[in-house]
């Protein structure tokens, strides 16, 4: 029972960042119909930028997280403006190939810039866990959960309450009619890719200090992001949130009770199961807010 609670807490922490990752990817797919293979690299980018700011430039830890996220937003905007904007009329295969190419370039640039050795990001939190009854959590992990939850809530409020958010959802649903309402669909695309990338970078910045940072960390995370999005239903924002937490729990529980070495494999096993039983994902199309 105590162990169960412990796994539940760990799964929630992991799930929050996975939800950020999944929302970013599903948003980009939903609005732009782009299968974004650079998503995992943006995650790694967020982690490395945090490392650079904290360890090399001596920037305050919290400020470094914000700057790394903003750097992700900027890199996403640049990718959209330089690559995707020119390919608006290209077929989906060409776009996919270009995005795969871009992810290879990003990964190798990271390797070149930082070397192959994994880095540790120092953080200001106490190394000893907080003990709350039967559960113990590292303060850093609580902080990660808090920030993820705040980002998820903030993003949702932006989409639900602001004029920009309504315009974004309208574009999501019917870009041509949105254009007739005066929406600059091109800028919505740039903003979408930038925000989606920023969410991935934020996830990387948050988990970077929890785990180690290495140039290939984006690979597995990119795959997981796709798993989360497919799990939740392509283009569904609530689905991606749900999928993120589902993956976090499955990894945590399977890792805890079944096998630590294969914890990543169980997540993918779950995807196969869900797709076999519910091919549309957890949140069917008609319930999507997009």
Partner 1 sequence: MLRLEGVAAGYGRTLALADVSLDVRQGELVSLIGANGAGKSTTLKTISGLLKPSAGRITWDGAEIGGLSPREILARGIAHCPEGRRVFPHLTVRENLEMGALLRRDRAAVATDLDAMCDRFPRLRERLAQAAGTLSGGEQQMLAIARALMSRPRLVMFDEPSLGLAPSLVEQVFQIVREIRANGTTVLMVEQNAMAALRLCDRAFLLETGHVVQAGTGAELLASPDVRAAYLGGA
Quick one: which H or E segment has residue 135?
Answer: strand 135-137
> Which of these ranges, 132-140, 160-168, 221-229, 242-250, lies near partner 1 under the rule CB under 8 A?
160-168
What is the smallest separation between the CB atom of 114 and partner 1, expressed in angstroms? 42
Alpha carbon distance 192, 179 (integer Å)? 16
Minimum Å gap between C-beta 181 and partner 1 is 5
**Binding of residue 182 to partner 1 (CB under 8 A):** yes
The backbone region for 139, taken as left when phi is positive above 0, alpha when psi lies in -120 to 50, beta otherwise, is alpha
Q: Which is nearer to partner 1, 94 or 177 (CB)?
A: 177
Give the torsion through C-alpha atoms of 207, 219, 87, 289, to 10 deg.
-50
Asked whether 56 and 237 are in contact (CB, 8 A), the reply is no
Least CB distance to partner 1 at residue 195 (A): 19
Contact status: 180 vs partner 1 (CB under 8 A):
yes
Judged by CB under 8 A, the residue of 3, 136, 177, 259 near partner 1 is 177
Q: Which residues ranging from 203 to 242 are in contact with partner 1 (CB under 8 A)?
A: none
Verify binding: residue 174, partner 1, rule CB under 8 A.
yes
Nearer to partner 1, 181 or 269 (CB): 181
Nearest to 37 by CA among 86, 115, 79, 99: 99
Q: Is 162 helix (H, G, I), strand (E, B) or coil?
A: coil
**Smallest distance, partner 1 to C-beta of residue 166, A:** 5
Asked if 176 is part of the footprint of partner 1 (rule: CB under 8 A), the reply reads yes
121 binding partner 1? (CB under 8 A): no
What is d(CA 218, CA 38) in angstroms, rounded to the nearest whole number? Answer: 9
Q: Which is nearer to partner 1, 109 or 179 (CB)?
A: 179
As beta bridge partners, residue 213 has: 119
CA distance linking residue 273 with residue 254, whole number of Å: 15
Which H or E run includes 46?
Answer: helix 39-51
Binding region for partner 1 (CB under 8 A) = 163, 166-167, 169-170, 173-174, 176-184, 288-290
């Amino acid at each position: 029972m105590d162990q169960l609670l412990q796994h539940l807490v760990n799964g929630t922490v992991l799930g929050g960042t996975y939800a950020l990752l999944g929302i970013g990817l599903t948003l980009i797919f939903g609005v732009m119909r782009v299968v974004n293979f650079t998503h995992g690299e943006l995650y790694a980018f967020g982690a490395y930028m945090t490392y650079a700011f904290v360890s090399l430039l001596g920037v305050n830890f919290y400020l470094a997280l914000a700057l790394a996220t903003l750097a992700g937003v900027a890199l996403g905007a640049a990718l959209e403006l330089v690559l995707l904007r020119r390919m608006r009329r290209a077929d989906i295969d060409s776009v996919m190939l270009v995005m795969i190419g871009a992810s290879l370039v990003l990964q190798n640039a990271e390797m070149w810039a930082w070397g192959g050795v994994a880095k540790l990001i120092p953080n200001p939190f106490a190394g000893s866990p907080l003990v709350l009854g039967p559960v113990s959590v590292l303060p850093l992990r609580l902080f990660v959960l808090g920030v993820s939850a705040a980002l998820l809530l903030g993003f949702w409020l932006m989409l639900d309450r602001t004029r920009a958010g309504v315009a974004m959802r309208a574009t999501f649903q019917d870009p041509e009619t949105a254009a007739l309402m005066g929406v600059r669909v091109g800028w919505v695309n740039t903003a979408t890719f930038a925000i989606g990338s920023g969410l991935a970078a934020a996830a990387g910045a948050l988990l970077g200090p929890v785990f180690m940072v290495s140039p290939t960390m984006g690979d597995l995370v990119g795959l997981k992001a796709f798993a989360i999005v497919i799990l939740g239903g392509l283009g569904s924002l609530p689905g991606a949130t749900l999928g993120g937490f589902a993956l976090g729990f499955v990894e945590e529980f399977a890792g805890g009770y079944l096998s630590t070495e294969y914890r990543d494999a169980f997540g993918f096993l779950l995807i196969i199961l869900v797709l076999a039983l519910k091919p549309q994902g957890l949140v069917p199309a008609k319930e999507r807010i997009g």
